[in-house]
Each structure stands twice: as C-alpha cells, then as structure tokens.
Structure 1
C-alpha cells in the first residue's frame, strides 16, 4: 500500500489539499484509493460547516493526478502538471460528505492518454454505496526545464 507521504511526493497538491490517504491498488489502466479526511472540520474545501458532494469531483481529479504520478515514477520520471478542463456525465448521489462515518474510496480508470492530455472515468463510494461518478479531462502542461521554476 502507498501512503499519504508517498502520494504527496507525486502530486502538486500539498497539505490539506492532498485529498487521498492511501493507494490500495494500481496498474497501467486504473487506480483505487482511500481517504478519511472528509470528516475533518479543517478540510480546505469546506464551506458553511459542510463539505458538499460537488467536491467529490476534486477527489476524482486528484485520483487522476496520483495515477499519472505513479506511472511517471515507475518510468523513472516526474508527471507533468495538469489543468482540469472538463467534467462530463457527473452524477452526485448525496448532498454532502462530512457526515459520512467511514472512508471514501475511489476507482479511476484511464479512458485516453496522450502526451498532452488525459481522460478518466471515476467512481467514489462510501461503505459500498455510490456517492459520485463521472468523467474528467486534463490538459497536461509542459514540464519546466531543470533549474527553471519559482524562486
């Protein structure tokens, strides 16, 4: 199993914005993850004391980022940062998440991969009950050359 520290090393999302706690399994075409942070009163996506179901789209998008990071790492590289450009077919089956007692789990499947883009389908469940599903598309940015960056 891959833990939170290893996940944070693979993606640009840090601190509380790193939403996944564990990678349960992954292969070239898919990934399964688990998170427990949806009940945290300090969750960065909370508003009005609630974490709304629409934020499951960010969980789905981050599942893509983790999968891309694992693939790049396995090939000896670093994943290019991406920008979420589209959500399609999203269905939310709950209104909020912060009142769910157990872990969230996600299954994300790669639908298309190109040098400059990715498309995935995601399903997020809680205790076997479907919370959200949909498809997400990301445009990948060219990585910065070594030595160039902030600072």
Structure 2
C-alpha cells in the first residue's frame, strides 16, 4: 500500500516530463484523492504574460483521477493503465488565469463507475496560496466540474476492436 504524501506522481500516471502537472498526492482512499500542484516558471502551459489559463484546471483534475487509478493499480500489483478524458459536465471556471507562483489543491471524488471502464468524477481546483496582489476567487475556488473518463480493462482489445470497426 502506498502511503501519503506521494512525491513520485509520475510513476502513477501515463504521462512524463513537463506533462506531469501534479506535484504530490496528499491523501487518497478508495474513491477520492487530494493532490497539490505548483505553477512554476517552467509550467508547460505558461503564457508570455506569466500566467496559465484557468481552463488547464481540467487537465490537473483529470490527472487526479489518473493518479487515483494509478495508486489502485500499484496497490493491486498491476501496471498503470491509459485512460481517456471524454468530456465534462457542469464545468465552472471562477478565474481567467493562474499566476506564476500559486499553489493549488486539486480534489476528485468518484461519482459513478461501471464494469466497462466508464466513470464520472466530481472535481475541484483551489488556489491555496497566491502571490501578493493576486485577487483570489471566493474560497480560492478556480474550477469545479464533473469529468467523464474511460479506461477500458483491456486497452489492446478495445483499440483492436475500434480499429477493426473503422476499417
């Protein structure tokens, strides 16, 4: 069993390098996860004005879901599986941008999951520390959404079936 905090988040995700947007898993249980993220100068989505667009919150929240699945895979002696972000319902953005130097708290909780690999998670992203002068949204809440994801139990079989159907 992995214990928190988990600093090697990349080992839990099918991502690498700068595409790993989470810094640390702070807590998890069977259906939920909390993680931290930092907006640093080398952030992959940094704009020339020194901010990151708030819409990138969807990717941070999706990586929380992937990290939770990665933890369960690790704890079950399995490999990390690829998953797909299918879309979102009820996406609310409460800021336009995230400033350089802000610290974020991302949270996800499973709402539903079926045996075919489809799931819905309720997610949020909050700024817990920001540079002086940045006006925080109410309660630091930057984004809130229900994310629809798909991680087939047999990815190779699913991809072969999908390719066969398109030819």
Please classify the TM superposition score into its range, dividing by the shorter chain length: 0.7 to 0.9
Structure 1, unmatched stretches of 5+, are: 146-151
* Conserved? CA contact 2:85–2:148, under 8 Å: yes
Large movers: runs of 4+ above 3 Å = 47-50
Bigger CA drift: 81-90 or 111-120?
Answer: 111-120
- Among 2, 6, 27, the alignment partner of 1:2 is 6
Question: What is the Cα deviation at residue 74 of structure 1?
Answer: 1.2
Could you tell me the TM-score, scaled by structure 1's length?
A: 0.85
Matches within 5 A, 1:108-147: 108-115=108-115, 116-127=117-128, 128-141=139-152, 142-144=154-156
* Conserved? CA contact 2:22–2:35, under 8 Å: yes
Q: How many residues align?
A: 140
Tell me which structure has the larger Cα radius of gyration.
2
- Among 14, 35, 41, the alignment partner of 2:16 is 14
Question: What is the Cα deviation at residue 34 of structure 1?
Answer: 0.3
Over residues 22-81 of structure 1, what are the superposed CA-to-partner deviations in whole Å (9 max), with x where a residue is unaligned? 111000010000011x2x233212344431000001001111000010111111212321
- Three-state SS of the structure 2 residue aligned to 1:97 is strand
Matches within 5 A, 1:33-72: 33-36=35-38, 38=39, 40-49=40-49, 50-72=51-73
User: RMSD over aligned Cα, in angstroms?
Assistant: 1.7
* Matched residue, 2:161: none
In 1: Cα distance, 2:34 partner to 2:12 partner: 15
In 1: Cα distance, 2:124 partner to 2:26 partner: 15
